[in-house]
Chain A
Amino acid sequence: MTLEQILTSIRTDPSLARHLTAWREIPARTGRFAPIPFSIDARLTSALRRSGIEALYSHQAEAFEVAQSGKHFVVVTPTASGKTLCYNLSVLNSLLAAPETRALYLFPTKALSMDQVDELQTLVRALNVDIKAYTYDGDTPGAARRAIRTAGHVVVTNPDMLHAAILPHHTKWLRLFENLRYVVVDELHTYRGLFGSHMGNVLRRLRRICRFYGSNPQVIFASATIGNPKELAERLLEEEVTLIDDNGAPSGPKVLAFYNPPVINRELGIRRDALSEAGRLAGEFIRNRIPLIAFSRSRRSAELLTTEFKSIAASHHISPDRVAGYRAGYLPSERRAIEKGLREGDVLAVAATNALELGIDIGRLQAALLVGYPGTIASTWQQAGRAGRTQDLSAAILVATSDPLDQYIVRHPEYFFGQSPEAGLVNPDNLYVLTSHVRCAAFELPVDEGERFGPNTLPEILDYLEQQQIVHREGDRWHYVADAYPAQDVSLRSASTENVVIIDTGDPAPRVVGEVDLASAPGLVHEDAIYIHLGQQYHVDRLEWEERKAYVHHVDVDYYTTAQIAVDVRVLAEFAKGEASPPPAHGEVVVTYRPTIFKKLTLERHENVGWGPIHLPESTMHTTAYWLALPDLSIPREEIQGLLIGLSHALEHVASLFLMCDPRDLGRTYEVHSPHTGRPTLFLYDAFPGGVGFAERLFRMHAQVLAAARDLIAACPCETGCPSCVGPVLQVGGTGKARALEVLDARLVPGAAR
């Protein structure tokens, strides 16, 4: 069957069709073109013609024009719309005019950098001039580095290398910084949350170094779908940025459908498992050899899907080698092999996590399955966009889980299709992040009195660093004097730079199978956990916490494990509180994580078949939180806990929708009697040290969020609570759902009571 026939059969098969809550056919778009501008170097024009480009898409021509005016700009158009030409044209044109010109390209990952250099080099070859474009990353051989530093016209790297290897050694990059004309920041949408907050500071440092060398580069941002490209770029750059978002590229027709698995237990609100439903749909595609990508939200789900896909393939006489998994924790070589397999068609189906979400070139897939709402509207469009980069028909199906957010989205498709994608929220002024980068900046150049670096808190931060004997003040300058390389201690991607290495102690010799970041380690590789890698199960025999090593051996069991982590929160400072009584508030808190127990759940039916304790040290994090104390209630004491669990469950999910953030960026906890408010209180906090501003925003839009939580709970078909609204009845008790509604109706949502 062709894709078209498969789609028809899905729509007409009653057992499937009635669970489709949305079916949108997005028509093909015709392209809008503009002539190649006359002001472009004739050599470049003819090179473009030789590569088959006779005219530009309208947005490419617009980008060239804005670039000529010297303004910073941001290009936002979908995948495969010729975004890279938007900056390559201007960069190459400047290089042809003045060969000493330099450009710096920043991509969030190494794989993307390599893709880009290949593309740029193809164009340069067509030009037949001596323009050198190089990737500079951790894999660049030592001998090549010197040549790149002095002779590379276009240096392609990632923010981490810029932060840890280039800026701290800027004197070796004299030629680059003296002549830097363009800085390209592609995949802008990835620079949000903590990573974006770091990126803002890396850009501050970059431009500070440029000023020292007398250059003032023009910055070009490019991005996939995101709600606030201009605002985000301006927040990162702290200057005005011109927006180019009128896409002139054509695209093929596309179907985007929502599928909500049927309820199998109405009382408990239990729906059929999204993973098995996805397997069923995937069977149609795999059987008909339609290239397929499935995204799931956790590493574990990706592994389970991989196993499922392999068995589907086997039953249709397709080699299981044509099915692959793809997620963080795979070794880079494994990943490159899978990407290549996808591009060349050797791999037919891949089960991935969002590790594959970025613009890594994996060729032309026709179908995408999104198992579970990816968390944001933007990433939904991006994941769906992995299918159908060509002019042909493509399809993406979102299979909902029982998560409240999934349920809200598939039951309110008009919300999804009517809403603009999420805004990227960053806070480069986060004190933790800012201070880390002031330290790095001082290492790069002494800091002068009156210099600005972000907000006007520089003197206080320098005072603190002097106290810590990191900088030394002399007259109106602070000099770096510590015997340490500060960039080494600062990771742009996570709160900690540390990983736990997973070592297989089995035959024939011990080998490293992967690694997990320190924060996830207590939940994934505690002793007796089942760790899944490349579809293989491993039993964790020993976790050497101080050594950051987990020793595992290969097993074959019919269960997996899931860890429970107790969260405590303590208020340090209240920044603001609202009008209501008792008032909602936000402020600084310290959160303590204490892993407690793990459960063993069967692979088939997720039934609990055992548990064990986790012995690991607790960890703490300073961050910002929003909290909500409940008013005086005539509710029996024993029902308060269920009420708090239910309310916080619903609130957390609705909040991430309104905050337009990934649900994982928020944490939640509650206290039946909070020492701070003296009342039952629930807390939602930023899941990064220092916070990126979610708590404050939540505080400001608190009324809207509470109203939406009420809608979610009231509209849920379950009787006494389910994972889709207040959480399972086992957690919230028989009255949790009713009490939560009661509280929302009576006290928190003005006008909702009737």
Chain B
Amino acid sequence: MPGSSPGLRDSVLRDRLAALNVVGRMRREPVRPAMPWDRRDRDRDGTPFEIRRSVRTVREIFGREKPHPSDYGALFLDTETTGLSGGTGTTPFLIGLATLERHEVTLEQYFLRRLSGEAAMLEALRDRLVEAETLVTFNGRRFDWPILEARFIMSRMPLDPPSDHTDLITAARRLWYRPLGTYRLSVIERQALGIDRVDDVDSAEIPGMYLEYLRTGDIGPIEPVFAHNQQDVTCLLHLRRRVRRWIEDGEDPPPPVDWEGLGVLRLQANREVDAESALRRALTVEDDPAVRWRIATRLARVLRRGARWDELLSLWEREVGGRGAWRVRALIETAKVYQRRLRRPDRASAILEEASRVVEWLLLRGEPAAHVMDGEVRNRLTRLSTRYSNSQVR
């Protein structure tokens, strides 16, 4: 519209924007009018970001339990952000931290009063990160840390990654995904740690609440987010201490828990004896044949490493009670133990003969994997007889 006055153009442009509906959805009307940007925070001291710090005794947090020695020197971190999708347009506006020293737990929260305070906030955070030996988060590898990394780059500030980063979601996935059907922190907290939260805010509401704060400058409605974040950080403290005790100190967790997952975590921590007991416990409660098979395989690896052939044999002999294909697989494993470890080719071949009878039946039933198993059993039988007759000749 060449020639029109700027004012007219503005209003026409505004109408056209509204008509085009570029955003593609109707925003709910804000409950409260926005404050002009320079008048927000007017009754505050004007710092663009603030630190809330509270110090608790270790006893207040942990009760009669003791923190794990490695908790000292760790920095526990959880952020609240303007969005959950990640990417450069996601700003962390509240960073919750916890550190332990002697008998005290220090809880800190860095809060962005204005978006322009971000660089200052990141600088303060960097000082804390440098001091820490370990960073502890929940889903921090995928979410919090990449977002922070992006923010540092966008503020043109160098950032060294922490020398060690423990993301508790890895353990949580192993321990609770099967029994709880999820590994959300809030569910784990309630169901597995037995901690009840009261008056918590819905995470999905948090970005909107912060935007409302930015628009109005009113801190009141967003206070529950501070409480939420502090509970998340506290939950990290509990979770890490318990998980370490279960994995590294061989203590058994209360149900619901995935014993196989615990076994795997203990194996990864080189706690073989405790791992074995968790895996054995997993086998006592597991019904799903595919999972049983997986657990037995893990357990077998432990037994083989210890050359515990009799126990290995009885492990597989117990699995022979399975049905169909699972029975065949267990029979093959049993035969392998007889042949390779116990030097009993006769027993091995008798067991393979039995396996081949089961396979025949599976073939008749049209079991999908039956042909593959048939081939394997035949091969083993042939090899066995060749080697056996060779050794006879010799």
Write the residues of chain A forming the contact surface with B, with a CB cutoff of 8 angstroms: 168-172, 174, 431-432, 435-436, 439, 442-446, 457, 460-461, 463-465, 467-470, 472-475, 477, 479-486, 488-489, 572-573, 575, 588, 590, 622, 689-690
Q: Please tell me if the beta carbons of B14 and A460 are within 8 angstroms of each other in the complex.
A: yes
Top 9 closest pairs, chain A to chain B, by CB = A443-B89, A483-B207, A171-B150, A485-B85, A480-B89, A483-B83, A171-B153, A435-B22, A168-B87
Least Cβ distance of A464 to chain B in Å? 4
Contact residue among A170, A472, A477, A690 (Cβ-Cβ distance under 8 Å from B214)? A472
B20: contacting residue among A432, A467, A469, CB under 8 A: A432
Query: What's the least CB distance linking B80 to chain A, in Å?
Result: 12
B307 close to A (CB within 8 Å) = no
With A464-B17, A472-B215 known as contacts, the answer to whether A484 contacts B22 (CB < 8 A) is no
With A435-B17, A460-B10 already in contact, the answer to whether A474 and B24 are too (CB < 8 A) is no
B146 neighbours in A (Cβ, 8 Å): 172
Q: Is the CB of A473 within 8 A of B89?
A: no
Known A485-B87, A622-B19; 16 more pairs at CB < 8 Å: A171-B149, A171-B154, A431-B20, A435-B17, A435-B22, A439-B22, A460-B10, A461-B17, A463-B14, A465-B23, A468-B23, A474-B116, A474-B214, A479-B91, A481-B211, A622-B21
Enumerate B20-74 residues with CB–CB distance to A below 8 Å.
Answer: 20-24, 27, 30, 37-38
Size bin of chain B's contact surface: 35 or more
Q: Which residues of B contact A (CB under 8 A)?
A: 1, 10, 12-14, 16-24, 27, 30, 37-38, 82-89, 91, 114-116, 146, 149-150, 153-154, 207-208, 210-211, 214-215
Q: What residue in chain A is nearest B2 (Cβ atoms)?
A: A576
A486 vs B82: C-alpha distance in the bound complex, in angstroms? 14
Q: Which residues of A contact B211 (CB under 8 A)?
A: 469, 472, 481-482
Q: How far is the CA of A174 from the CA of B207 in the complex (A)?
A: 27
Interchain CB contact under 8 A, B37 and A483: no
Given contacts A171-B153, A483-B207, A575-B1, whether A431 and B87 have CB atoms under 8 Å apart is no
Q: How far is the CB of B389 from chain A (nearest CB, A)?
A: 48
Given A483-B84, A483-B208, are A572 and B89 neighbors across the interface (CB < 8 Å)?
Answer: no
Residue of A nearest to B24 (CB): A489
Q: Is A431 within 8 A of B13, CB to CB?
A: yes
Q: Which of B16, B30, B114, B208 contacts A474 (CB 8 A)?
A: B114
Cα A174 to Cα B149 with chains together (Å): 11
Closest Cβ of chain A to B309, distance in Å, is: 38
Q: Which residue of B lies closest to A467 (CB)?
A: B27
Name which of B14, B38, B89, B153 has the most chain A CB atoms within 10 A of its CB: B89
Chain B residues positioned under 8 Å from A174 (CB to CB) = 153
Question: What's the minimum C-beta distance from A300 to chain B, rounded to whole angstroms?
Answer: 31
Kindly list chain B residues whose C-beta atoms are within 8 Å of the C-beta of A573. Answer: 12, 16
B17, B38, B82 interface centre (most CB from chain A within 10 Å): B17
Chain A residues whose C-beta falls within 8 Å of the C-beta of B208 in the assembled complex: 483
Bound Cα distance A384, B23 (Å):
42
Expressed in whole angstroms, the Cα–Cα distance for A468 and B13 within the complex equals 15
| Given known A171-B150, A432-B20, contact A445–B37 (CB-CB < 8 A) | no
Using Cβ atoms and an 8 Å threshold, which residues of chain A touch B89?
A: 168, 442-444, 480, 482, 485-486
From A468, A481, A573, name the one whose CB has the most chain B CB atoms within 10 angstroms: A481
In the assembled complex, the Cα of A446 lies from the Cα of B150 at a distance in Å of: 13
| Cβ of A458 to closest chain B Cβ, rounded Å | 11
Q: Are B88 and A469 neighbours in the complex by a CB distance under 8 Å?
A: no
List residues of chain A with CB within 8 A of the CB of B13.
Answer: 431, 457, 460
C-alpha spacing A232/B220, complex, angstroms:
54
B165 to chain A, nearest CB (A): 16
Q: Which of B30, B37, B88 has the most CB of A within 10 A?
A: B88
Partner of A443, one of B1, B18, B19, B88: B88
Of the candidates B19, B30, B83, B88, which one forms a contact with A484 in the assembled complex, judged by CB atoms under 8 Å apart? B83
Bound state CA distance, A467 and B24, in angstroms?
14
The interface residues of chain A lying within 8 Å CB-to-CB of B14 are 460, 463-464
Instruction: Give A435 Cβ to nearest chain B Cβ, in Å.
Output: 4
A475 touches B22 (CB 8 A): no
In the complex the two chains form, what is the Cα distance from A463 to B30 in whole Å?
16
Provide the bound-state CA to CA distance between A446 and B210, in Å.
17
Evaluate contact between B153 and A475: CB separation under 8 angstroms.
no
Shortest CB–CB separation between residue A321 and chain B, in angstroms? 29
Across-interface contacts of A482 in B (CB, < 8 A):
82-83, 89, 207, 211
User: Given the complex of chains A and B, what is the CA–CA distance between A467 and B85 in angstroms?
Assistant: 22
B153: chain A residues at CB < 8 Å are 171, 174
Which residues from chain B contact A622 at a C-beta distance below 8 Å? 19-21
Q: Are A483 and B85 in contact (CB under 8 A)?
A: yes
Contacts of B38 in A (CB 8 A): 475
Asked whether, in the complex, the Cβ of B85 is within 8 Å of the Cβ of A470, the reply is no
B209 to chain A, nearest CB (A): 11
Q: Which residues of B contact A484 (CB under 8 A)?
A: 83, 85
B20 touches A468 (CB 8 A): no
Nearest chain B residue, comparing its CB with the CB of A573: B12
B13, B14, B19, B23: residue with the most chain A Cβ atoms closer than 10 Å: B23
